[in-house]
Structure 1
Amino acid sequence: MNYNDDLNHFSDENPSSDGHLFLKPRVNRFAITFVIVAMLSVLSLGIAYLYGGYTNKFEEATKDNEHTAVALSEHIDSTVFQVENLSGDILERLAYDGDSPPALARLNKQFRKIAQDLPAIAGIFVFDSSGNVLVSDKVSPLSFNNSDRAYFRYHKAHPDDQGVHIGSAVESRTTGDLVIPISRRIEDSNGNFSGVFLATLKVDYLNNFYAQFLDSESSVVVLTLNDGEVLARAPYLATSVGKTLAQGQIFREYLPHRTSGTVMVTSVLEGIDKLFSYKVTNRYKLFIGIGITKTGLLAAWYGEALLASSAIALLLIILLLLGKVLVNYISLSSTYEEELEKAFAIAHTLSTEDALTGLKNRRYLNTSLPTEIGRAKRNNSPLGFIMMDIDYFKSYNDSYGHLLGDECLRAVSSAIYATIRRPGDCAVRYGGEELAVLLPDTDEAGTRKLATDLCFAVSQLGILIKAARWDG
C-alpha cells in the first residue's frame, strides 16, 4: 500500500476526523463568547444592583423622613393649640373675675396644675399693661417686668392680632433656660391693651423629644419660625438657636412653591450636604425639617457596595461557583426584607391596639383625636365622641376574679365593636374599664343614638353580678 492508499485508508477509518478539526475552533470561540457574555452580564447586574441599592437608600430615607416630618408638625401644632385653648379660657376668666387677689390666687392654682400636667410647659404668666407679673404658675409670687420682651411690644403695637403669637426663643428670667414664648393680647372691656398672657415651652423638652427620631449621629431635626429663625434642634447645638435658615435653599427656592417636600441641600448651620424633608405646619405655619448627611445616608450602602464589588470580582474569576452564591445572597436578602416588613407590621399593630380587647389603644387615640378635631374644624363638620365606663367593674373583678374580669372586658368590647358599622368610626380602650368611641362626621343626634345602641348591645350580653354595688 502506497502513501496515498495509507491516507485514504486513514480517512475511511476516521470519517469524522476532519469534522473534529473544524469543530474545535468553533467550540473555543463559543466558550470564549459565552464567558465574555456571562462576565459582562454579571458585571451589568452588579452595577445595576449597586445603583439600585444607592437609589433605594434615598427613596427609603425620603419616605421615612417625610412621614416623620408630618408627625412632628402635627405634634407641635397640637402643643401650641393646647396653649391657645388655655389662653382663651384665661382671657375669659380675667374678663369675668377680674384681677382681684382671690381671682389671681385661683389662677395661680390652675396654672400650677396645668404646668404639672404638661411637661412641655416651662411657665405660665399674666402681665399687666405695664409688663409687671400679675400671676404665674410659680408657688412664690414673682416681681419682674417683661415690658422689654419682643412679644410684649408686639401685642401692645398690634391690637388687630387677637390670636396667639409665637416668638423667638429667649432665656427665661425665672429659670435661665431657653424657652419659646407663646403669648396673647389681653384687652379691657373697651378694647384697650391691658396686658399679655404668656405660656413658655421648654426648648430642652423639644430637643429631647426630637432626639428620639434621630436614626444616627448624622441625622438632625430642626424647628423654626416661618421666617427661618431656629427654635429647637436635635441634636442640640448651642449656637443654632436664634440663628436663621432664611438664606438657605429650602427657604429661598423651595418653600415659596411647596410647603412640604424632600430635597438635597447644603446645611446653612454646618455647610454639609444633607437630604432634607421639610413640612410647614398646617395651623401655625412653623417649619419642621428632618435631615441626614449624604455620607450618613450612604454609610450602610458603602459597606454593602464594598462587599458586592468583591463578590462581583470573585464572580468574574470563578463564574459558576459564585453564581450560586449570588443567587443565595439575593434570596436571603429578599427573605430578610419580607421578615423585616412583617416585623414592622406586627410592631405597628401592637403599638396601636389593646392586647386584651383588640380595640385601638389610648396611644392611637392621642394621635388620631387631634387630627380628627383639626379635620372637623377645617371642614366645618361635626365630630362625635363617646366616653363609657363599665359600671360595677371593680365589684365584678373582686367577686369573680381578674380572669373573668378580662372576659367581661372582651365581651363588652366585642359588643361595642360589632355595633359600630361605619369604617371611619373607631372604638378605643381608654384605660382600665374606660372605653371610648370616636365618630367623625357625626352630629349630636347621631352620637346619642349610637350611645343608646351601645348601651343596649352591652345589656344584651346578660352579664350579671351578685351583690352589685356602686363603687363611686
Structure 2
Amino acid sequence: MLGRSKPEPKADVFTEGSSMKSVSAGATFRLIVSFMLAVILAFLTVEGWRTWRDYRSAFASARDSVTNLARATAQHAEDAIRQVDVLTTALAERVEGDGLQSLDAARIHKLLVQQSKIMPQLHGLFIYGPDGQWIVTDKEVTPDPANNADRDYFQYHRTHTDRNVRIGDVVRSRSTQDLIIPISRRLNNPDGSFAGVLLGTIKVSYFVDYYGDFKIDDKGALVLATRDGTILVRRPFIASVVGQSLANSEIYKRYLPNSDEGIAEVKAVVDDTERLYGYRALTTYPLVVEAGLSRESIIAPWRRDLIKTGLVLFFLMAVFTVFGLIVLSQLRQRMVMSRELRRAHQSMREMALTDSLTGLGNRRRLDNALPHEIRLAQRQGSPLSLIMIDVDYFKRYNDRYGHAGGDDCLSAVGGAIQQAVKRPGDLAVRYGGEEFTVLLPNTDSAGAAQVAEDILRAIRSLNIEHSEHPLGKVTASAGIATQLPGIEDVTPASLLKSADACLYAAKQSGRNRWYATDDAHLLT
C-alpha cells in the first residue's frame, strides 16, 4: 500500500519486565539442572579415573609378580641343572680317565651315593656301557633286566658325538617308577668311539614341591618346558599334562622368537584359561619357564572394589538427585506461580488498556504508545500518522435508538476499524465516546489517507440504519495528522491537536469524509 511500510514492534515496559523475570526464572532452572549434571559428571569422571588407575595398578602389580616368579623359577631350574651338569662333567672325566674296563665299580658306587645325598634334586646317578647295560649306579638294587639302550637319550648319544649335557623329556624311572628328567652326557673311549652314557636324573617332584611354595591363585600356573615346547613340569601338577607340547601357544609362536624374556597376556593351550604370563628362557640350557596369574585373579579384587565404589556412588548420586529434584520441584512450583501471576498481571493490564465495549485499545494505551512512537519516528527518520475518527450524528443516533443501540453501533464501528487496520504494528483505540484513533507508524500522509478511506468505507458498508442521518445510515468522519521526518518539536498533544483540527474540518465540510491539512475528501 502506498506510503506504508512494516513498523518495528512497539516497546512494552511491562511485557519486557515480565519477559526478563521469565528468562531469569528459566535461566535459574537451567543453571540448577546444569549444576546437578556437572556434579554428577564430576563424580563419574573422578571415580572413572580412579577406577581406571586402580585397574592399571592391578595389572602393573601383576606384571611385577609374574616377572619375579619367572625370574625365580628360571634361576631355580638353572641352578638345579647346573649342579647335575657340573657333577656329571667331573664324573665323566674320571670315568673316561680310568676307562670303563678297569672301572672300580664299588668305589664309584660309594661316590655316586654320596653325591646323591648332597643334591636333593637328584633322583639317581647312572653309568651305562656301550650296549646300554647298567655298569654302576647310586641304587642299592639293580632291576632286571638292567638295560637302557631303548631310552631316547641313550640312542641320541650313541649317534651324536657332541659332549654337551642333554636334557631329555620326562620319563618314568625303571627302578622307582618316579617321573624324572634325564640329564645325560656321552662317554667316549680314548679313540673317541662311543663308550656309554653318564646319566643324572632330577625328580619331577622336586620342582612340583618348589612351585607349590609360591602363593599364586588357584588358576595360576608355573611351567618348566623345553625350548621346543615339551612340558617337563607344571603347576597345578597333572601327570597327563607332562609331555604335552606348547609349540602352538602364543608365547612360543609370537614372543619367544623375538625375545628370551617378557610378559604376555594370552590364553593357555592346556586349559584355555586367560593368564598374564611372565616367560623367561634359561641362559645356559634349552629350557623355558612360564609363570602365569589368571586374569580373573588379577581383576577380582579390582571388581569387588568397583562394585563397592559403584554402590556408594550410586547411593550418593541418588541422594543428590532426590535433593536436586526436590529443589527443582520447588523452583518449578514457584515458576508456575510466577507465570500465573504474570499472566494475571498481563490480563489485568490488558483489561486496563482495552476498551470493554469495542475490544480496541483505550485512551490509556494510546497515551502509552504515542510518545514512544514519536521518539522512534524521530530517531529513525520515518513518518508517523494519526487518524482521529468520529461517528457522524451519534448524539441523534443515541436519542433515536437509545444507549443500548448506541453501544451496539459503537461495537460494530470498532470491529470495522479493526478489520481495516491491516498491520500488526498499527494501533486502533477508542479515544472516548464515539471518537476513535488509529496510530500508524512508518506511514506518510498518502498511506494514512488510504487507511482512512478504507475505514470510512468499512463503516458505511455496515449499513447500520440511522434515520436521523441525511444518508439514512451510520457514517463517520476522519482527520489525519502526519509527523514528517526531521521535525523534532512534535509532541503527543500537538499531534492529537492537529488530527482533531483536521477532524473538525471534515465535520465542517459536510461529514462522511476525511481531512488532512488543507485537503478534504468525500468517499462515495
Which TM-score bucket, shorter chain as reference?
Answer: 0.5 to 0.7
CA distance in 1, matches of 2:103, 2:153: 28
Q: What's the offset of the Cα at 1:280?
A: 0.6
Partner residue in 2 for 1:148: 150
Q: In structure 2, the residue corresponding to 1:239 is in which secondary structure?
A: helix
Contact 1:184 1:196 in 2 (8 A): yes
Contact 1:42 1:315 in 2 (8 A): no
After superposition, the CA RMSD in angstroms is 2.5
Partner residue in 2 for 1:396: none
Partner residue in 2 for 1:80: 81
Deviations 1:251-300 (A, max 9, x none): 11211111111112121111222222111111102110111222222122
Q: In structure 2, the residue corresponding to 1:298 is in which secondary structure?
A: helix
Q: Which range moves more in the overlay, 270-279 or 223-232?
A: 270-279
Give TM-score scaled by structure 1 length.
Answer: 0.61
Contact 1:214 1:221 in 2 (8 A): no
1:230 counterpart letter in structure 2: I
Q: In structure 1, the residue corresponding to 2:251 is in which secondary structure?
A: helix
Deviations 1:396-441 (A, max 9, x none): xxxxxxxxxxxxxxxxxxxxxxxxxxxxxxxxxxxxxxxxxxxxxx
Partner residue in 2 for 1:190: 191
Contact 1:115 1:123 in 2 (8 A): yes
**Alignment of 1:114 onto 2:115:** yes
2:108 counterpart letter in structure 1: L
CA distance in 1, matches of 2:56, 2:37: 28
Contact 1:208 1:234 in 2 (8 A): no
Q: What's the offset of the Cα at 1:20?
A: 9.2
Deviations 1:66-118 (A, max 9, x none): 12111211111111111111011101211233346872212211211221122
Deviations 1:325-364 (A, max 9, x none): xxxxxxxxxxxxxxxxxxxxxxxxxxxxxxxxxxxxxxxx
CA distance in 1, matches of 2:276, 2:282: 20
Partner residue in 2 for 1:55: 56
Contact 1:263 1:275 in 2 (8 A): yes
Q: What's the offset of the Cα at 1:32?
A: 2.8
Partner residue in 2 for 1:275: 276
Deviations 1:285-330 (A, max 9, x none): 211011122222212222111111112212212359xxxxxxxxxx
2:223 counterpart letter in structure 1: V
Which one has the largest radius of gyration?
A: 2
CA distance in 1, matches of 2:109, 2:320: 79
CA gap of 1:251–1:286, structure 2 versus 1, over 3 A, is: same
Contact 2:186 2:196 in 1 (8 A): yes
How is 1:387-426 mapped onto 2 (pairs within 5 angstroms)?
A: none
**Alignment of 1:174 onto 2:175:** yes
Higher relative contact order (CA 8 A, sep 6+): 2
**Alignment of 1:300 onto 2:301:** yes
Q: What's the offset of the Cα at 1:19?
A: 10
CA distance in 2, matches of 1:22, 1:190: 109
Q: In structure 2, the residue corresponding to 1:318 is in which secondary structure?
A: helix
**Alignment of 1:237 onto 2:238:** yes
Contact 1:178 1:203 in 2 (8 A): yes
CA distance in 2, matches of 1:299, 1:36: 31
How many residues get paired? 305
Consecutive unaligned residues of structure 1, counting only runs of 5 or more, are 1-17, 321-472
Deviations 1:162-219 (A, max 9, x none): 1100000001101101100000000011111101000111111111211222411011
CA distance in 1, matches of 2:310, 2:142: 70
Partner residue in 1 for 2:159: 157
1:149 counterpart letter in structure 2: R
Contact 2:224 2:234 in 1 (8 A): yes
CA gap of 1:261–1:319, structure 2 versus 1, over 3 A, is: farther
Q: In structure 1, the residue corresponding to 2:241 is in which secondary structure?
A: coil
Q: In structure 2, the residue corresponding to 1:222 is in which secondary structure?
A: strand
Contact 2:143 2:174 in 1 (8 A): no
CA distance in 2, matches of 1:95, 1:227: 32
Contact 1:214 1:220 in 2 (8 A): no
Contact 2:66 2:276 in 1 (8 A): no
Q: In structure 2, the residue corresponding to 1:154 is in which secondary structure?
A: helix
Report % sequence identity. Answer: 30
**Alignment of 1:103 onto 2:104:** yes
2:149 counterpart letter in structure 1: S
Q: What's the offset of the Cα at 1:23?
A: 6.3
Q: In structure 2, the residue corresponding to 1:256 is in which secondary structure?
A: coil
1:35 counterpart letter in structure 2: M
CA distance in 2, matches of 1:107, 1:186: 15
Q: In structure 2, the residue corresponding to 1:123 is in which secondary structure?
A: strand
CA distance in 1, matches of 2:130, 2:100: 12
1:168 counterpart letter in structure 2: D
Partner residue in 1 for 2:216: 215
Partner residue in 2 for 1:38: 39
CA distance in 2, matches of 1:117, 1:319: 71
Partner residue in 2 for 1:351: none
1:282 counterpart letter in structure 2: T
CA distance in 2, matches of 1:236, 1:135: 32
**Alignment of 1:250 onto 2:246:** no
CA distance in 2, matches of 1:274, 1:65: 10
Q: In structure 1, the residue corresponding to 2:270 is in which secondary structure?
A: coil
Contact 1:211 1:221 in 2 (8 A): no
CA distance in 1, matches of 2:227, 2:290: 12
Consecutive unaligned residues of structure 2, counting only runs of 5 or more, are 1-18, 322-524
1:136 counterpart letter in structure 2: T
CA distance in 1, matches of 2:210, 2:303: 30
CA distance in 1, matches of 2:295, 2:217: 12
CA distance in 2, matches of 1:154, 1:121: 22
CA distance in 1, matches of 2:219, 2:52: 22
Contact 2:182 2:202 in 1 (8 A): yes
Give TM-score scaled by structure 2 length.
Answer: 0.55
Deviations 1:17-41 (A, max 9, x none): x999986655544333222111101
CA distance in 1, matches of 2:103, 2:155: 29
Q: In structure 2, the residue corresponding to 1:74 is in which secondary structure?
A: helix
